[in-house]
Amino acid sequence: MMLEEINSPFRYPGGKFYARKLILEHIPPHNCYVEPFAGGASIFFAKKKVARNILNDVDPELVNCYLTIRDNVEGLIELLHGIPATKEMHHHYKNMYKPTSGLERAFRWYYLNRTSYSGIMNIQNCFWGYGDKYSMQPKNWPGHLRKCSAKLQGVEITCFDFEQVIAQAPDDAFLFIDPPYFNADQDKFYTHSFTRESHYRLERVLHLYSHRMRFLLTYDNSPEVRRMYHWSTQMLDKEWNYTISRTDDQSKKTTVKGKRSMGKEIFITNYDAVAGILPLQLPLERAGFGLAAAN
């Protein structure tokens, strides 16, 4: 029986919640699904599971929380029981609470994520940001966590550098790749920085292995990104509406009701994103590698 499509257990800055429908329309048939930059993993939770599923992120606290949801969701729910979503509790768990186990680390991370502005977990910018009207209320956390746990069963969850994940992805795998934006000040949002060289390194490793896997890469639509991926099969300009600033923002001491904004990105693929067909293998001299280099 196929599990229902559900939302991510997390709020995540830069996540693809509002672009899910657009992205799912361009994913080709596959038996192995890989996310090197899982983050909130909105696409994994929105799509149907396949034979093999791999979620990876470099943030060990996020990965620990995923592992806890998968392997000990009832323990997490027990710790969350009776804890209200209040600014005082947010302050306590952010500044004073000291976890002593992996379960307690997951509890702290999950609570702060659900009650922080836009789900930002960088401690310098992790401000209170919960509202009953727009946020998932604590009474609904257990049921949703159980659904997420059910979907995560059998999923491989790792904490590696993206290059290792891509290099070790099985032949014929499909990779959904959602790195930090190329031109964004992403250090404000994430606990692990992604440098300009990291973006170039991502392009090199995708170029190196593109002959044996399919990928859909989402990026901010900029001339430099287009130049970097000139060798790709398709670049699709995409726009969608998303909502920002819908709950209290402690950093500004004000409540902002929020507004609809337009997301503008580019989808980069190494296959026909309509038909989902892997293109013919690139000539080795164009691809920039020899047979030995790919092994």
Q: What is the DSSP string of 48-69?
A: PP-SEEEEE-S-HHHHHHHHHH
pLDDT of residue 192: 63
Pick the closest to residue 13 from 33, 45, 42, 34 (CA basis): 42
Structural domain boundaries in the chain = 15-58+164-279, 60-159
60-159 topology per CATH: Adenine-specific Methyltransferase; domain 2 (1.10.1020)
pLDDT of residue 214: 98
AA identity, residue 106: A
pLDDT of residue 238: 87
CATH of domain 15-58+164-279: 3.40.50.150
pLDDT of residue 177: 97
pLDDT, mean of each 10-residue run, the chain (295 residues) = 77 77 93 97 96 97 98 98 97 97 98 91 86 93 98 98 98 96 64 84 98 96 95 89 45 45 81 62 36 31
pLDDT of residue 118: 82
Per-residue tokens: 146: 């159980």
CA 4, 57, 208, 154 dihedral sign is negative
pLDDT of residue 151: 98
The owner of tokens 């947010």 is 90
Q: What is the DSSP letter of 31?
A: S
pLDDT of residue 15: 62
Task: Assess contact for 251 and 87: CB atoms under 8 A.
Answer: no
Write down the pTM of the prediction. Answer: 0.84
Pairing of strands 32-35, 156-158: unpaired
